[in-house]
Amino acid sequence: MKFNFDEIVNRRGSNSIKWDIAKDDEVLPLWTADMDFRSHPAIVDAIIKRAKHGVFGYTKVPEAFYDAVVNWFQRRHNFSIQSDHILFTKGIIPAISTAIQALTNNDDKIIIQTPGYDSFFTSISNNGCIVSTNELIYKNGFYKIDFDDLEKKAADPKAKLMLLCSPHNPIGRVWKREELQKIGEICMRNDVFVISDEIHCDIVYQGHTHIPFASISDEFMQNSVTLTSPSKTFNLSGIQVAYIITANKDVRQKIEKTLKTYRLHYINTFAIEALITAYNEGEDWLEELKEYLYENYNTLLNFFKQYLPHLKVLPLEATYLVWIDCSVLKQTSKVIAKTLFDKEKLWIFKGDVFGAAGEGFIRINIATQREILMRALDRIRNLYGVDHV
């Protein structure tokens, strides 16, 4: 490999939320969704070059920013978008909150599929709306969509939006075209607008293809906004950059007005340089990253088969977040997570933060060096392995 993902980068003392919140240096944090790898060297160099300029005043977003986004989606996802359909902002959660604020009234219902990304719940409630859950069907270690329930939830006159996670966090599914088609048809039929969070769209593994929701048809393009960012792809969460894509002029104007109201229509100087460089020069790094991540997944999968066969590791089609069914332990997700933290100093995400449908599950971030991953797996084995109980 050209890039050394095995190199351990000491993140302690860097004000890392992931590594520095726990004061104990023995804690291994495999919880929040950022990676422990250095980003592409070209991105680092671009940020350093801009920093050497030494003046960091208000910065306009150049055409090169829009060109990089347009070309990336055409090249990587066969999705043709126009630069004037793009609005930029500081992050996916601000983008979600802005879209909700712009497109709903208090007490409107917003449909989400659970188990679902935990920030969806707070983004909805903080904007005065009501969560409407379309619980995914879990059977034989696999999730599928309950379309009958989705139709019922969408038919509620108070349902105004669907917040789609594609690819899905935490379950790691890549929705197939026919699944997205059915979602779109149900929403169109019931006058429900779609906000599609596609932040994990670039980390999709062999045998699976991300289909941008808005790319399926002109009707879907008009009835949706797409939210995404290079932050998960290139480990740029601290840079804080995201963008909103919509061909619907009226919707775009409402969202833009709301962004300006809350002063969310600025991004920092380094975010601009990072995005342009990532999308123009980062594909070689991304391809090797995906190989490394999937090897990590297989390492975890084989470890569980050998030492923790009673716990079910779900298929990973996308993301670097592994969803594990621990229901056989007959313990709550909270108890499992707390026990791992207290006894083994391993910090993972408890499943119930993703809604009631996540009870009995845990989520593990495998975007770390394999040496660290193996240390973490040994700590799980120490508590729950068949040879330790």
Q: Which amino acid does the sequence have at 85? A: H
Tell me what pLDDT residue 1 has.
84
Q: Coil, helix or strand for 161?
A: strand
* Rounded Cα gap, residues 82 and 69, in angstroms: 9
Instruction: Please count the CA atoms within 13 angstroms of the CA of 271 that sit on its side-chain side.
Output: 22
Long-range own/partner contacts, residues 13-22 (CB < 8 A, 24 or more apart): 22/347
* Rounded Cα gap, residues 175 and 317, in angstroms: 9
Beta-bridge partners for 113: 134
* Rounded Cα gap, residues 196 and 226, in angstroms: 5
Tell me what pLDDT residue 143 has.
98
Q: Are strands 28-29 and 361-365 parallel, antiparallel or unpaired?
A: unpaired
* Beta carbons within 8 Å of 350's beta carbon, 6+ residues apart: 333, 334, 336, 337, 338, 362
C-alpha 373: how far from its chain's center? 20
For residue 318, give the DSSP letter.
Answer: B
| Unique residue bearing structure tokens 């993140």 | 11
Q: Helices in the chain by DSSP H: which ranges?
A: 17-20, 41-53, 63-77, 92-103, 118-126, 147-155, 177-189, 218-222, 231-234, 249-261, 269-281, 283-307, 333-344, 370-384
Contact 22, 347 (CB under 8 A): yes
Tell me what pLDDT residue 389 has.
60
* Beta carbons within 8 Å of 261's beta carbon, 6+ residues apart: none
Tell me what pLDDT residue 130 has.
98
Report CA-CA distances (Å) from 70 to 73, 77, 107, 135.
5, 10, 36, 34
Tell me what pLDDT residue 387 has.
82
- Would you write out the chain's pLDDT as a tens digit for each of its 389 residues? 899 999 999 999 999 999 999 989 999 999 999 999 999 999 999 999 999 999 999 999 999 999 999 999 999 999 999 999 999 999 999 999 999 999 999 999 999 999 999 999 999 999 999 999 999 999 999 999 999 999 999 999 999 999 999 999 999 999 999 999 999 999 999 999 999 999 999 999 999 999 999 999 999 999 999 999 999 999 999 999 999 999 999 999 999 999 999 999 999 999 999 999 999 999 999 999 999 999 999 999 999 999 999 999 999 999 999 999 999 999 999 999 999 999 999 999 999 999 999 999 999 999 999 999 999 999 999 999 998 66
* Rounded Cα gap, residues 104 and 119, in angstroms: 18
- All structural domains of the chain, each given as residue ranges with its CATH number in brackets, are 17-41+283-384 (3.90.1150.10), 57-281 (3.40.640.10)
* Rounded Cα gap, residues 277 and 42, in angstroms: 7
CA angle 261, 263, 268 (to 5 degrees): 160
Report CA-CA distances (Å) from 48 to 144, 163, 173.
45, 37, 37
Q: Coil, helix or strand for 149?
A: helix
Q: Which amino acid does the sequence have at 25? A: D
| Unique residue bearing structure tokens 């845990």 | 362
Other CB atoms within 10 A of residue 74 CB: 12
* Rounded Cα gap, residues 239 and 91, in angstroms: 9
Strands of 361-365's sheet in order across: 312-313, 321-325, 361-365, 349-350
